[in-house]
Amino acid sequence: MAAPVLCLLSLLLCSAWQGMQAANISIGALFTFDSVIGRSAKTAIELAVADVNRDAAVLNGTYLTVVEQDTKCSGFIGIIQGLQLMEKKVVAVVGPQSSGIAHVVSHVVDELRIPLLSFAATDPTLASSQYPYFLRATYSDLSQMAAVADLVTHYGWREVTVIYVDTDYGRAALDALGDELEAKRSKVSYRAPFPPAADRAAIVDLLLRVSMMESRVIVVHASPDSGLDIFAAAQSLGMMASGYVWIATEWLAAVLDSSPRKTALLQGVVTLRQYTPDSDAKRSLMKRFAARLQGDKNQSAMNAYGLFAYDAVWMAARAIDQLLGDGSNVSFSDDTRLRADNETGSTLRLGALKVFDQGEQLLSKMTVVNFTGVTGRVQFGADRSLADPAYEVLNVGGTGVRRVGYWSNRTRLSVAAPGSGETKKQELHSVIWPGETAATPRGWVFPNNGKPLRIGVPYRTTYGQFVSKDSGPDGVSGYCVDVFKAAVALLPYPVAVAYVVVGDGVKNPSYGELVQRVAEGELDAAVGDISIVTNRTRVVDFTQPYVESGLVIVTAVREKASSAWAFLKPFTAEMWAVTGGFFLFVGAVVWVLEHRSNADFRGSPRKQLVTVFWFSFSTMFFAHRENTVSTLGRLVLIIWLFVVLIINSSYTASLTSILTVQQLSTGIQGLDGLIASSDPIGFQVGSFAKSYLMQELGVPESRLRELAITDYASSLQNGAVAAIVDELPYVELFLSTNCQFRTVGQEFTKSGWGFAFQRDSPLAVDLSTAILMLSENGDLQRIHDKWLSPGQCASQGGDVGGDRLNLSSFWGLFLICGIACFIALLIFFFRTLRQYFRYHGHGDGEEEKAFPVEAGRMSARRPARLASIRDLMTFVDMKEAEVKRRKKMGEDSSSGRRLDRSMPGSSGSGGPSSSFSPV
């Protein structure tokens, strides 16, 4: 009996275990069935559930079912459907599709501990720690907006207009885009929200306001079901023409994937699409998806959201499989707070909502899931969104869509696919923009809102030729105003301006305050003699400088007696030493070259030494009485006289300058002297010179005196200030009529005058180009000559400083002269040694016969064939004519001996010989 009973128990246990393994586990799906995203997601989710149940390696026989709830594009209905879904004891929810519904439902699942796997809610704020059970099975809009910002930066645009649906989804994306653009020194210049259920009239009114803005770069962030209405209205308003830039976020790619024939409204639009690499699994899914479309007129093609929904089901299945594999059961329990609500008689039946006991464990399994799906690598990042986001950059043109590049958080913009391993610089293929043009649009136009630019112009009370108020139609005139008008006339579009005079006419206004008014938006721009300095460039944008400027020092000049040793100042001590050394060196070289052939360079040692010194220094005046006869000597002398000519001319010019400077010198000779002294310093009213002297040079404020230009002359003459620091254009105009003043030292800042515009104003860039054109065609100089013609003192020069001449200015001349002397000496000694060895190298006593006296002296000291240094020096000291004479005598003697040996009766080497000696 025992055996049958045991067998029966075993069968019962086996059946119970199999029953447990075959139990159903339900997941939920929350989305709008009748929508571009929902139609694709519905089929994808059903295919994914079927594939999971067909795969024996997942869930080990447990049957996965899906409960679908339709949110009907309504936030309220979506919340109700979400609560009803939770009543059906689902362990996870794929969805919701809407970011707004996700915000509400996330609070519910946090209470019930049921993970959400959304395949379409891209709102970045859902990644907050406030929603721990929300997982994004797609990419966050943070990455998408980074891609849009990179596109804007890539084409050099600085301002964009954003049209967005006024929901959590739209507002959060707008904030993300603004942050990304700000990091790249761009901005959202105009925000154009529209309600989710906006009709055609509301959209047209919105686009009319957009068309009046200056930005022509328009980013559209809408939903796939209503976004096309914006482009339909834009086309009817002529806003899909040349000059516009339309960038749509990924919603448009979902529309085009589902309905490829809707391209007529979208010519030239650039859009993004979530990047999913090609794979066998993806192609198989797309093929099966297309097979289900046959005969169903209401169904649409697969889009990227459907692919992410498919992988979301597999994420849930794999996490559930791991949970069951760890031995955990699936169980639900009541929430005491919800049961208490039922006891109060509420008809909401909240007590039917159960807490998933293993929800926290399942969530932890999901967050570490890692597998390859149809969308590529499936893995969550730190923000609980899919890691490594990537997008395709698409361009709509003709009857289709063309890929022009990719974007990923690793490579940014590139023509290489993410993960391909190729590293290329940021670039894209060419884009066909609205209006069927390949040229990149400028991205902005002058605003068509009837408001002219408010141009601030300083009311100068002095030197009004730069800029000032007048009674003309514009109310202002001057050099700066004419330059601005000429530059505006070169722009390819009309610009309406209204000049606003700034100042009370009593004293010049503060230019720092004028620039600040532009920065604060009170004025659109400022035109005038405005210096481009660091603290101003931090708050406004300047055009290309149209006048070069810099600070200089002006001081009064007084006569001063010249020094008795002023004649030494043109050259430095090093220059004097090298010049004197070369005089002696060249004289010695010429003496060596001329000594053998020129009687003027011979005589007693004392006479020759005097000759060398006399000849050396007389070349300074070209008055040497000794003539040069050798070719090498003349060559050296010609080169040296050229050097002397240059040195003489430079010395004369430098001495003249130094004597003039000494007559005009003052106590302050430059910037160093200005800082070191304790004398008061003047500066022009409203000039940045005050802040520069105090902040950059450390000059105490007690030394600074604010002056009008009309007070410059009197203040310098009566000693109220020792010097005045002002910009070069003002100083040049002041010195043109005040000849008793001069500038000292050099400019100690380098800047210029430009027109100030608000930050990131594209008009500043276009005007910079126009200013360069004015400079190139000569109009800028003509305007300058019209207003700023030189005065009577302009020809006297400005700077009274002079530099001493040093060796670095003449080393090239000295080098040439030294090389010439060296080569001449080399040739001379080569020729001399050649003569020496030729006429002292003969054997058989010819040397003694040719030079009997010298030979007699040398015979007692050395062997006949060894030449001593004394012998060489004696030979070198001989006259060239004497050497030639003795050479001839030696040749005659050798000829006589040969003749004697050839006569009859002459003996051989052992016989008697007749003697023959030259007379």
pLDDT in tens, 592-632: 777 676 666 666 777 777 777 777 667 766 555 566 667 77
Which residue did the predictor score with more confidence, 625 or 687?
687
Residue 185 pLDDT greater than 90, yes or no: no
Residue 242: closest CA among 439, 429, 446, 397: 439
| Backbone dihedral angles phi then psi of residue 798, each to the nearest 5 degrees | -115, -55
Tokens describing residue 46: 């059903």
Structure tokens at 903: 């006569």
3-state secondary structure of 272: strand
Please report which confidence band the pLDDT of residue 750 belongs to, taking 50, 70 and 90 as the band edges: confident
Structure tokens given for 50: 């079927």
Helix 869-877 and helix 811-840, axial crossing angle in degrees, nearest 10 = 110
Predicted local distance difference test score (pLDDT) of residue 17: 42
- Residue 759 and residue 754: Cα distance in Å, rounded? 14
- CA gap 683, 367 in Å, rounded: 68
Residue 332's DSSP bridge partners are 356
331 closest CA partner among 351, 307, 355: 355
Q: What is the mean pLDDT of residues 128-137?
A: 93
Q: Are 622 and 641 in contact (CB under 8 A)?
A: yes
DSSP letters, 228-259, are: HHHHHHHHHTTTTSTT-EEEE-HHHHHHHHH-
CA distance 138 to 127: 12
| Residues paired with 548 in a beta bridge | 752
Residue 697's alpha-carbon distances to 313, 511, 714, 801, in angstroms, are 70, 21, 26, 21
Least confident of 148-157, 245-254, 487-496: 487-496
Residue 469, beta-bridge partner list:
476
d(CA 121, CA 385): 10
The CA distance from 464 to 484, in Å, is 16
In tens, the pLDDT along 38-77 reads 999 999 999 999 999 999 889 888 999 999 999 998 889 9
CB neighbours of residue 593 within 10 Å? 26
SS3 per-residue string spanning 431-481: CCECCCECCCCCCECCCCCCCCEEEEEECCCCCCCCCEECCCCCCEECHHH
Higher-scoring residue by pLDDT: 277, 836? 277
Nearest to 818 by CA among 809, 810, 830, 829: 810
What percent helix, strand, coil does the chain show, rounded to 5? 45, 15, 35
Q: Which of the four pLDDT bands, split at 50, 70 and 90, describes residue 862?
A: very low
- Per-residue pLDDT band at 866 (split at 50, 70, 90): very low
Determine the pLDDT at residue 761.
Answer: 83
- Nearest by Cα to 44 from 311, 441, 439: 311
Does 390 score more than 60 pLDDT?
A: yes
Task: Write down the pLDDT at residue 27.
Answer: 95
What is the predicted pLDDT for the residue at 148?
A: 97
C-alpha 274, offset from chain centre = 31
pLDDT at 802: 46
Q: Work out the end-to-end distance of the chain between its first and last CA atoms, rounded to an integer number of angstroms.
A: 167
- How far from 334 is each of 27, 113, 310, 340, 360, CA to CA, in Å? 19, 12, 32, 10, 16
**DSSP run (H or E) holding 869:** helix 869-877
Give the least confident one: 159-168, 757-766, 860-869: 860-869
User: 301-310, 443-452, 667-676, 813-822: which range is least confident on average?
Assistant: 443-452
**pLDDT band at 577, cuts 50/70/90?**
confident
Question: pLDDT band for position 864 (50/70/90)?
Answer: very low
Residues 6+ apart with CB under 8 A from 40: 254, 257, 258, 300, 301, 302, 303, 305, 306, 309
H or E stretch covering 710: none
- Residue 719 pLDDT class (50, 70, 90 cuts): confident
The pLDDT score that the predictor gives to residue 814 is: 82
Q: Is 682 helix (H, G, I), strand (E, B) or coil?
A: strand
pLDDT at 171 over 70: yes
Banded model confidence at residue 853, pLDDT cuts 50, 70, 90: very low
Provide the pLDDT for residue 472. Answer: 85
**CB–CB of 832/824 below 8 Å?**
no
pLDDT at 742: 85
- Is pTM beyond 0.75 here? no
Region of 421 on the Ramachandran plot (φ > 0 left; ψ -120 to 50 alpha; else beta): left
Stated as kind and residue range, the H or E segment containing 681 is: strand 681-684
**Rounded distance between C-alpha atoms, residue 411 and residue 418, angstroms:** 7
DSSP letter at 125? G
Predicted local confidence at residue 389, as pLDDT? 95
Q: What is the mean pLDDT of residues 444-453?
A: 75
Q: Give the pLDDT score at 569.
A: 76
Q: How confident is the model at residue 803 (pLDDT cuts 50, 70, 90)?
A: low
Which helix or strand (DSSP H or E) is residue 130 part of? none
Which contiguous run of DSSP H or E holds residue 279? none
Determine the pLDDT at residue 908.
42
The whole-number average pLDDT for the span 701-719 is 89
Q: Which residues contact 692 (CB under 8 A, 6 or more apart)?
A: 533, 551, 749
312 or 128, higher pLDDT: 312
CA distance 213 to 440: 19
Q: What's the residue count for the chain?
A: 919
Backbone angles phi, psi at 167, to 5 degrees: -135, 180
For residues 330 and 307, give the distance between their C-alpha atoms in angstroms, rounded to a whole number.
Answer: 28
Query: pLDDT per residue over 430-440, tens digit each?
Result: 999 999 999 99
Cα 758-762-763 angle, rounded to 5 deg: 80
Taking CA atoms, 714 is separated from 77, 586, 665, 733, 790, in Å, by 86, 57, 19, 16, 22
Please give the mean pLDDT across all residues of the chain: 82
Once rounded to an integer, what is the mean pLDDT over residues 300-312? Answer: 91
The answer, yes or no, to whether the previous bond of 96 is cis (omega within 30 of 0) is yes
196, two tokens:
């989710």
Q: What is the pLDDT of residue 20?
A: 44
pLDDT at 315: 96
pLDDT of residue 560: 57
Q: Rounded distance, CA 284 to CA 825, Å? A: 94
- Which comes out higher in pLDDT, residue 373 or 351? 373
502 close to 477: Cβ distance less than 8 angstroms: no
pLDDT band at 847 (very low <50, low <70, confident <90, very high): very low
pLDDT at 676: 86
